[in-house]
Amino acid sequence: MLIKVGRVILIPLIFMLSPVNAFATVWVDSLLHLDKLKSSDFNSFSIKLDELIAEENKLSDFEQDYLTLMKAYREAYRGNTQSTLSILTPLIENSDLVISFRAKALAINSLVVARRYLDAFVYLEQLITQLNKVSQPEAREQGLRVIALMYNLIGKYDFSLSFIEQLIDESPSSNAVCAAHQLRAEALYLSGRTDDFKLKSVEGLGYCTQHNEPLWANIIVSLIAQNMMDEKDYQGAVSLLQSHNNQVESTRYNSLILKFNSILAQSYYGLGDFSLAKENALKVIGAAKQDRVSLVAVETFAVLHQIAKTEKNYQQALEYHEHYMAAFTAYMDDKSAQQMAYHTAHSEILAQNQKISLLDKDNRLLQLEQEALKHQAAFNKLMIAALVALVLGLAFLAYRSFIARQRFKALAEYDDLTAISNRYHFSASAKEALTLCEKGQLPAALIVFDLDHFKQINDQYGHAAGDWALRQTVDTCRNFMRNNDVFGRIGGEEFSILLPGCQSDKAHLLADICRDAIYSIDTAASGYEFKLSASFGVTSAEISGYHLTKLIEDADTAMYQAKQLGRNRVHFFQG
């Protein structure tokens, strides 16, 4: 998503950098007017920009940089990602803090579109570091919006909400406040804070409607409809979306249009109107052929798969399931890439800060040493040597203690063969997650599965082959899990997965996906060829309650029923 920013008032800063005269004021006024036009009237903005480019040789160095930033905005609005980044690269290294800050904020949008996440998060860390140094209101507005958007992208909603509240408190333009309402509604919805979401989304929708901001208003509408669908109010979701559909079409914002159609497809499916569900789903798939790395594509293929199964068109159902799996895998890979890029960038910034801190300390020690040499050189050298030895000794002891704690923690909490939670750690983590779900009245589901005929594998091919099979099973299933799912080994060849916030039908689908993936494992790499399969039992808090012992007991019962029915299958506990 391209973040639109409001006008930027740069007159005082420009006057500090260039002589104040009538000629300069003309260009300053023109640039400020151009900056204001870019988010309100793009066609006029583009025409005025070309007029200024024709006079570019008359501008001062700073004014040329400002004009170059406007060129980058035009390329970004046109969707020319690579061209935008090429223009912004020299501006990011600009000596003027405001120009550099705004260039980084704009570059982050284009880098996310290009899926160059590491570069985007490196710039994000720099924006956060520089934010307190930037006092210009419009530049701060742009920075705060980008920071909140990026934290929403990687699921750090508490961080996002703190920057959103800061943005609203600073009272920027109505466009920025409306964008902040949309980002806040998104953060509250995705973090599962349903009551807060319902309250704040209505507040945000009213504000955006009042200030004639249809794009942000209708993104909030899509979130409200999504929440209605989650609560199985399918008719309410359909009515809400239909009442805003013409307005959304007029925005020509493709991502939002696709999201509306996707929610309509899911809602019509919930109502049993498969014809309209399929019609809206095919609109999404047809319009998103080039972008299958999105949650919209995943949800839409899932609907088409279910419709085809209901219509007993099994060939088409299989094709849609293959598309669903490809989209799901691509989406999860993309989310993993975002998380990895964020942690890598964050670690690099911390390392740089530590280096700077160490250099500062070294400089201070050198100054102290020079002062001490004037009085008692020999004595102070000895004291410095002793201090260094003490610091190194304490650091070494602290390091050894840290390594030991980490080793003991890993031994106590994780299974040494599969590297997932052992039974003790699984129980503790699962109980904590279930407590949160129960307090928030969120759904939860539990899967228990057991490898079929595992003893025969150990007896016939040896324990090394059995260990290989267990590791491959874990690695295969983990590919389909979310970050907040709790996965543990609770017995020799028995595993359990707690799915917080997951409805029973989606848990059943995940279990079936894992079962199929285990059955597809090529065992030749173990040195032997044998067939792996597993039997799955599934239950939900709706049936079994929020107590882990009862959930495991019921899921275990369902798993043994699956084995009795022939193994290599998923059985849902019926109560």
Average pLDDT in the chain: 85
Q: Does the pLDDT at position 343 exceed 70?
A: yes
* Percent of the chain surpassing pLDDT 70: 85
Q: Where are the beta strands (DSSP E) in 287-370?
A: none
Residue 186 and residue 148 in contact, taking contact as beta carbons nearer than 8 Å: no
7-21, 65-79, 431-445, 535-549: which has the minimum mean pLDDT?
A: 7-21
* Percent of the chain surpassing pLDDT 90: 51
Q: pLDDT, tens digit, for every residue of 141-197?
A: 889 999 999 999 999 999 999 999 999 888 778 888 888 999 999 999 999 999 999
Nearest CA to 146 out of 189, 101, 191, 115 is that of 101
Give just the sign of the alpha carbon dihedral 351, 356, 357, 359. positive
Identify the three-state secondary structure at position 363: helix
C-beta pairs of 154-160 under 8 Å, 24+ apart in sequence: 154/338, 154/339, 154/342, 155/190, 155/483, 157/187, 157/188, 157/190, 157/191, 158/191, 160/187
The more confidently predicted of residues 246 and 384 is 246
Q: How large is the average pLDDT for residues 532-545?
A: 96
The more confidently predicted of residues 446 and 57 is 446
Q: pLDDT, tens digit, for every residue of 477-516?
A: 999 999 999 999 999 899 999 999 999 999 999 999 999 9
Identify the three-state secondary structure at position 487: strand
C-beta pairs of 242-249 under 8 Å, 24+ apart in sequence: 244/218, 247/214, 247/218, 248/214, 248/218
Q: How large is the average pLDDT for residues 28-55?
A: 80
- What tokens does 129 get? 């570091």
Nearest CA to 317 out of 278, 280, 361 is that of 278
Q: Does the pLDDT at position 6 exceed 50?
A: no
pLDDT recorded at residue 37: 72
Please state the separation of Cα 428 from the chain's center in Å: 26
pLDDT recorded at residue 356: 61
Q: Does the pLDDT at position 420 exceed 90?
A: yes
The more confidently predicted of residues 29 and 553 is 553
According to the 3-state scheme, what is the secondary structure of 377-424?
HHHHHHHHHHHHHHHHHHHHHHHHHHHHHHHHHHHHHECCCCCCECHH
pLDDT recorded at residue 394: 63
Identify the three-state secondary structure at position 536: strand
Distance CA 487, CA 448 (A): 10
pLDDT recorded at residue 388: 67
Q: Does the pLDDT at position 18 exceed 70?
A: no
Q: How large is the average pLDDT for residues 200-205?
A: 94
pLDDT recorded at residue 7: 29
Q: Does the pLDDT at position 136 exceed 90?
A: no
pLDDT recorded at residue 251: 72
Q: Does the pLDDT at position 309 exceed 50?
A: yes
Q: Does the pLDDT at position 8 exceed 50?
A: no
194-198, 211-215, 234-238, 529-533: which has the minimum mean pLDDT?
A: 211-215
Q: How large is the average pLDDT for residues 343-367?
A: 71
Q: How large is the average pLDDT for residues 262-273?
A: 94
Residue 218 and residue 226 in contact, taking contact as beta carbons nearer than 8 Å: no
Query: Residue 3 — pLDDT band, cuts 50, 70, 90?
Result: very low
